[in-house]
Structure 1
Amino acid sequence: MFTGLCAFPLTPVTASGVDEEGFRNILARLTAARVDSLGILGSTGSYAFLTREQRKRIATLANELAGDIPMMVCVGAVSTDTVLRLAEDAQEAGADALLLPAVSYQPLRDDEVFALFETVIRHASVPVCVYDNPGTTHFTFTDELHGRLSSLNGVRSVKIPGVPDTPAAAVDRVAALRHRLRPGVTIGISGDAFAGLGLNAGCEVWYSVRGGLFPETAKQIAQAAAMNDPARVTALTTRLEPLWALYRKHGGSIRVIAAAAGVLGLTDTDCLPRPLQPLPAEDIAEIARVITELELK
């Protein structure tokens, strides 16, 4: 499952809890588009804000809706014991893979992160994707640590946060990481604005927030990469610069995607877990305009 387009859907949350109807609406778009896989409860899936029971319910619901589309579930938490319980829940809910970040209140050492992955893999019956996202976890993986982790048979993919902003530098970055990894471990690009550069540099999978709401638009890019058409990949991602500008303006993707889900009528306008706040009306109007102008779907 670690190739192609892995769509990361929003988990909409209201004052009364998880909005299951809104989540069903979002998942329906992804299954209709036949994305290659689903990334449930990633950062935009708000895993860090949800209880264990809520996370298991979302994973179970996603599995019911996914059909034959494979599903990866994030099991990130501060303590190893909690991660193991979440991994058990995710597997019981039907997860085909686990997405594991290094989350901690105290700064983690590389050996401690390796021990975390080693422990989870020893207890898991499904493969693991390394979730490298220093912007949210505040832990930065080195290429050396990625290489050590890839020596664990359960590790099948690495989700990197982005690549340098020139094609040549992106190629060098992906090549340097691949040199460290065990053969067969895929590299996945995240950070939607870097998708074109990453895919053209040789990343086998796009772990996509944008694909979690606008799957048809994202599939065009992933399919162009699969057809080894870098010019089309670049053209399709460059035209989306107004969307990337919104990400930058609002400090990342989650507030933009939540607002967009409301604009599309899939969720309430206010669908973020507190303390996150919805964007003001003027910003939502700008997001609606960009969706229309770019014909996002």
Structure 2
Amino acid sequence: MGHHHQHGHSHSHTDLKGRNLLISIFLNVAITVSQVIGGFISGSLALLSDALHNFSDVLSLIISYIAARLGKRKASNFKTFGYKRAEIMAAFVNAATLVVVAIFLMKEAVERLYKPQVIESDLVIWLSLIGIAANGFSVLLLKKDAEENMNMKSAYLHLLTDMMASVAVLIGGILMKYFQIYWIDAALTMLIGLYLIYMGYDLLKESSKVLMLFTPKSVVIQDIVDSICTIEPVKNVHHVHIWQLNEDEVHMEAHIDFKEDIKLSEFDLILEKIEEHVYHKHGINHVNIQPEFNKCDSKNIIVQD
């Protein structure tokens, strides 16, 4: 059995990531409270829907913050992988909430389209401006981390879509104030809902693939098998499993049949070659190999349950 690890995140970076999340949480709590109050006073469904989305942002950011903290915990006898999947689970939950919130908003918007209401547009305009400013600042805080971490991407998407929602609410407020087009409030809510589903579905799909232990898109198992077989004295590679543990780790386990009955010391040297090979060419940073010689099992099954 062999293993090879590569770690890419420092504690200082994680601490900075946590601080940025905390700032975003406090900003979104303030926005949510102000928009709920303003939504009831003005009668704006778009403003209330934006407040609901903001509330889901608060929950998602809290989940992301807890997951980021859990991810730093070390493995134990009862948790041999530690909490390395915590951030993937957070991404999945946050993506799911985006879709659920979107469906709820669209249902409310359809009902409001049949019964448009007069709305206090001045309050809507001012509160949407506050939402744009606060969420825009939060988006800038999380943008860099979102490029390399699925959990942070889920939090970033919540904030980005809410900033876009606030922009839509602002446009609606202006149209209601100057042109008395009150149905635009529900129409914009529908657009916000569709956009949330569009953004949430892709992240939900990607996080689901990791949780289901699917092989990463970038990995072609047959190519790996063929390349390992070029290393002497490897005869056959079979019973391969490749999965993504989290953002940073891709694991591989396989049975390797050798042409001759090699010594354990020789196997160690071959294993080192395999580890370096699959890491540099295929991005796999943890390898488990079961060596075999003349074992009576099928050598033709590359992938097996």
What TM-score, normalized to structure 2?
0.20
Choose between structure 1 and 2: higher strand proportion. Answer: 1
